[in-house]
Structure 1
Amino acid sequence: MSEKQKIGNYRWRIVVLLFFATTINYIDRQVLGILAPELQNLFNWSESDYGFIIMAFQIAYAIGLLTTGSILDRIGTKRGFSIAIILWSLAGMAHAAARSVFTFAVSRFALGIGESANFPAAVKTVAEWFPKKERALATGIFNSGPNVGAILTPLVIPIIALNWGWKWAFISTGLLGFVWLIFWLVTYRRPEENPKLSAAEKAFILQDGEETTGQTISWKQIIGHKQTLGICLARFVTDPVWWFFLYWLPKFLNSNYGIDLTNIGLPLVTIYVISIGGSILGGWISSQLINKGKNPVSARKITILMMAVLVVPIYFVSGISNMWLAVLFISMAAFAHQGYAANIFTLVSDLYPKNAVGSVVGLSGFAGAIGGVLFSAAVGLILEFSGSYHVVFGIASVAYLVCWAVLKIFVPDSELIEIRS
């Protein structure tokens, strides 16, 4: 019998649940984008109307990230994740009843509040269920969910909308959350309380000897550490690049290569399929470095530097005449972002006690969301005045190197954080 068989693998069932929750999260948020042309014609939205609806989600998402992490640390992962997916599923379904810009914006705001809990809850769950040496790989697996969601949405939603109408696109995707909830409630209990977990696997999960107390941590205790500032700054400069990919790539492909809704699927699917590998490989690389004796924090930063170098060639994209070569460079950057994300999330659980993880992920996610809102506004102004994506891709090409430098300055390799409640 192998060592892995002796230890057991129940913890990987938890990762599968996190993967599906994250996939559903991204499907629900992207439905509106796929249906936007039809809905704009149906409800006679202006571009500013649509922008207002999108802004409602982004603002709510930022607010939610600032607050949901702390709530999760207070009420626990199982209950917190359950409430979040109920809220965002109902909000997604509520889009089907919306008729005005205001009611769509309200639905979108509620969706943003609910969905903001996904990543703090998922990272906190990984911290509870995995030793440090496996956390990046586990995070990489669930963090491939956004890519799968980004692939499935443009393939499935048009079929539903064309056959049953746009309302059912929102209703059917909202129902997915309730299906997931059943499996979550049946499966999830903390390792210390789970009777289905073998003694060997429980000991393996808890080998780092960290505190698992449910005592709460104040914002003052978290913000007072330079590592918190470093992680927040890192997210502030890199999260906007991913938001740019989600919202602007179709427009870029249309303006530079004449790609429209009839043939947008293959380039986008190619980009997101390739990026899935980055999420998993990024986690695997840092785990291998740890297995070879590297300090966990050092291993995460080395991997982030590797990913940052892969993003640099995106600088040349706006000047490339061959669409598929441009798609290749964009795919490399998306691949690298996901490899980076697997490690920046895991870095939080490496540095902070478990009862502070949700709060720190939420706080840093808030910083990233604010960066995304500001960058989206900047992109619009840059394109309006220059008509070129050159500056935008130039900023994106160095963002991850800046992130690595910030982490190098603010996050020492061996200085773990102790916070006493």
Structure 2
Amino acid sequence: MSEAATHKEYSAPSSSSGRPETKRTHYRWVICALLFFATTINYLDRQVFGILGPNLTEAFHWTETDFSLIVSAFTLAYAIGYVAAGRMMDRIGVRRGFAVAVSLWSAAAMAHGLVQPLVQSGLPWLNTAFAGTLLGALTPAMLSVAGFSAARFALGMAEGGNFPGAIKTVGQWHPTKERALSTGIFNSGSNVGIIVAAYTVPCIIDDMGWSWATAFYLTGALGFVWLAFWLALYDNPERHPKVSAAELAYIHSDSPDPPAQIAWISLLRYRQTWAYTLAMFLVSPVWWFYLYWLPKFLKNNHGIDLGQVFWPLLLVYLLADLGSVVGGAFSSWLIHRGATVNFARKAAFLACSLGTLPVVSVARLGSMWAAVFLIGLAAAAHAGFAANLFTVVSDTVPRKAVSSVVGIGGLAACVGMLVFSTLIGIFLDWTEARYGQKDYLIPFLISGSVYLLATTVIHLLLPRLEPMRFDAAERRT
């Protein structure tokens, strides 16, 4: 039986099912822990390049435009991968879908290390063998940009599977009143992954004396360890022997979904899809700006190099971790206190939007720690906003279409990031050429202001946060 087949209208299991009838188990939190570690590894593999950004920029003599091109290669592929993975998860299920995604992104992460021998050994051969041609005129900067762009493209394609799969899994394993909290918990793995990268990469290079390529090899291999646990521990809640009848009834305590799927293109007709998609377009580029440019900002404005970057990044992403869990728990707490889902989610959106506003002053602060704290506050607010935004999908979209809608939103996020990252690179190069120093004022102004706009868009499109309603003509069985 396929995974999709297990999500027909649910009926409570009988005593002959072999499940314990009286005691409610809590195995859904084991699944949440697996999602947390998957997200941790996802961001660890993604962030190694960001941590090494200042060093690689110096080693290969990149401009900010070169760096933004490499970031854009990941972003373009992530957009494609997000949509494709969303549909894949809906078709083949999260057990197999996650296994495919993690295997591919781990291999792609390790492939970054191959750029080192490519430049050291391949470039002299190309210059000699193709002298007088375009290939013969390649420089280390040009070849390294091409090599890293290819590796980042492969990584982005595969890493696009994490969030569609994780959000779909939360929808399958948690009732509405728990989803924001469980989403906040697994999403906090993104910050843990960044912290782990900030600690391990300097240790590998500075303390152990190994090359930057080794950092990619070692961190990339962790995904295969996670894969073994996933295959051993995961199954659908309806089939899982560790899930009691009481826990299964609790998981399915919400109203059942409509017993049919929606054609992919039909999803674009719904305000629920557009509310999520436009919000992702607006706020996701801000997170990626922090992810890739924060180490470079700290070096440019405050002289922080690879050996010193851990503590500032630790503060930023610990705050972001706290924001992810607290932001999700806040709306869940409001619901438990009797608030409507609509009020709870939007109250969380507004509170998080206000928390991002102080970051607009960061580019002009002389104190490194003051700047780091305000960036950390903004990152915490973003993480809380994202936890509730992801949850809105499972609140308003039938389970069978959740990953597809998440994929559409991910595509919009990547389009936004392509535009934002390209403009950042051009703007920083322009300010350096004109004023002799890179100026981060405009990127931080944008980063602090878009969340209120996103909250407004969500409210205008979904004033009551109502679920999708569709007639039989739009269903695809």
TM-score, normalization by structure 2? 0.82
- Identify the residue that residue 39 of structure 2 maps to in structure 1: 22
Quick one: distance in 2 between partners of 1:296 and 1:112? 33
Matched, 1:277 2:328: no
Partners of 1:352 and 1:418 within 8 A in 2: no
> Which of 156, 160, 166 is matched with 1:122 structurally?
166
Counterpart in the other structure of 1:390: 441
What SS does structure 2 have at the residue aligned with 1:241? helix
383-392 or 399-408, larger mean C-alpha shift: 383-392
SS of the residue aligned with 2:291?
A: helix
Q: Is the 8 A contact 2:31 2:234 kept in 1?
A: yes
Residues 23, 244 of structure 2: 8 Å contact kept = no
Residue equivalent to 1:376: 421
Residue 47 (structure 1) shift = 5.6
Give the whole-Å Cα distance in 1 for the aligned partners of 2:69 and 2:413: 20
After alignment, is 377-386 or 109-118 more displaced?
377-386
Give the Cα separation in 2 of the matches to 1:138 and 1:264: 30
Matched residue type, 1:87: L
Superposed CA deviations along residues 225-257 of structure 1, whole A, max 9, x for unmatched, are 022112111111111111111122222222322
- Which residues in structure 2 correspond to 1:77-226 (within 5 Å)? 77-98=94-115, 99=118, 100-101=143-144, 102-162=146-206, 163=208, 164-211=210-257, 216-226=261-271
Shift of 1:31: 1.9
Which shifted more, 378-387 or 125-134?
378-387
Distance 1:165 1:238, change over 3 A: same
What TM-score comes out, normalization by structure 1 length?
Answer: 0.93
Conserved 8 A contact 1:307-1:340: yes
Please tell me whether residue 415 in structure 1 is matched to residue 466 in structure 2.
Answer: yes
Q: Return the letter of the residue paired with 1:66.
A: V
2:450 aligned with 1:399 = yes
Once residues 378 and 53 of structure 2 are traced to their aligned partners in structure 1, the CA distance between those partners, rounded to angstroms, is: 26
Q: Which amino acid aligns with 1:250?
A: P
How far has the Cα of 1:63 moved from its partner?
1.2
Cα distance in 1 for residues equivalent to 2:445 and 2:245? 52
Contact 1:297 1:350 in 2 (8 A): no
Counterpart of 2:241 in 1: which secondary structure? coil
| Residue 363 of structure 1, CA deviation | 0.7
Which residue does the alignment assign to 2:379?
Answer: 334
Aligned to 2:82: 65
Whether the 8 Å CA contact 1:227–1:410 is kept in 2: the answer is: yes
Cα pair 1:304 1:343 within 8 Å, conserved: yes
Change (3 A) 1:43 1:391: closer
**Overall identity of the aligned pairs, in %:** 47
**Superposition deviation, residue 218 in structure 1:** 1.9
- 1:250 paired residue among 277, 295, 306: 295
Aligned 1:3-82 pairs, distance under 5 A: 6-36=23-53, 39=56, 49-82=66-99
Counterpart for residue 124 of structure 2: none
Q: In the TM superposition, what is the alpha-carbon distance from 1:49 to its structure 2 partner? A: 4.8
- Cα offset, 1:379, TM superposition: 2.2
Question: Is 2:357 the partner of 1:312?
Answer: yes
User: Is 2:275 aligned against 1:230?
Assistant: yes
1:380 aligned partner, one-letter code: G
Is 2:84–2:407's contact at 8 Å kept on the other side of the alignment? yes
Q: Structure 2 counterpart of 1:59, which letter?
A: L
Tell me how far apart the structure 1 counterparts of residues 111 and 68 of structure 2 sit (CA, whole Å).
19
The aligned amino acid for 1:409 is L
The amino acid that maps onto 1:120 is P
SS in 1 for 2:308: coil
1:289 pairs with one of 316, 334, 338: 334
- Deviation of 1:284 (Å): 0.5
Q: CA deviation at 1:396?
A: 1.6
CA contact (8 A) 1:270 1:331 kept: yes
Are residues 379 and 47 of structure 1, via their aligned partners in 2, closer, same or farther at CA, if it must alter by over 3 Å?
closer
Deviations 1:70-114 (A, max 9, x none): 111111111111100011011112223341533433222111111
Counterpart code for 1:144: S
Structure 2, gaps ≥5 residues long: 1-21, 119-142, 432-437
SS at match of 1:262: helix
- Alpha-carbon shift at residue 46 of structure 1 (Å): 6.2
2:308 is the alignment partner of 1:263 = yes
- Contact kept? 2:278, 2:412, Cα under 8 Å: yes
Moved more, 44-53 or 316-325: 44-53
CA distance in structure 2 between the aligned counterparts of 1:84 and 1:19, rounded to whole angstroms: 15
Deviations 1:248-271 (A, max 9, x none): 222222232222233222111111
Mark the runs of 5 or more structure 1 residues left unpaired by the alignment: none
Alignment-mate amino acid for residue 166 of structure 1: W
Please say if 1:364 is aligned against 2:409.
Answer: yes
- Say which is worse superposed, 40-49 or 402-411, in terms of deviation: 40-49
Superimposed CA distance per residue, residues 375-403 of structure 1 (whole angstroms, 9 cap, x where no aligned partner): 11222333344553222222222111001
- Does the aligned pair in 2 maintain the 1:23–1:146 contact within 8 Å? yes
Paired with 2:78 and 2:398, the residues of 1 have a C-alpha distance of 25
Aligned: 1:346 with 2:397:
no
Q: Relative to 1, partners in 2 of residues 1:258 and 1:75: Cα closer, same or farther, differing over 3 Å?
A: same
CA contact (8 A) 1:212 1:354 kept: no
- The one-letter code sitting in structure 1 at the alignment partner of 2:156 is G
Deviation at 1:48, TM superposition (A): 5.2
Distance 1:308 1:49, change over 3 A: closer
**Aligned Cα RMSD in Å?**
2.1
Post-superposition CA distance 1:105-136 (Å, at most 9, x none):
32221111110110010000000000000000
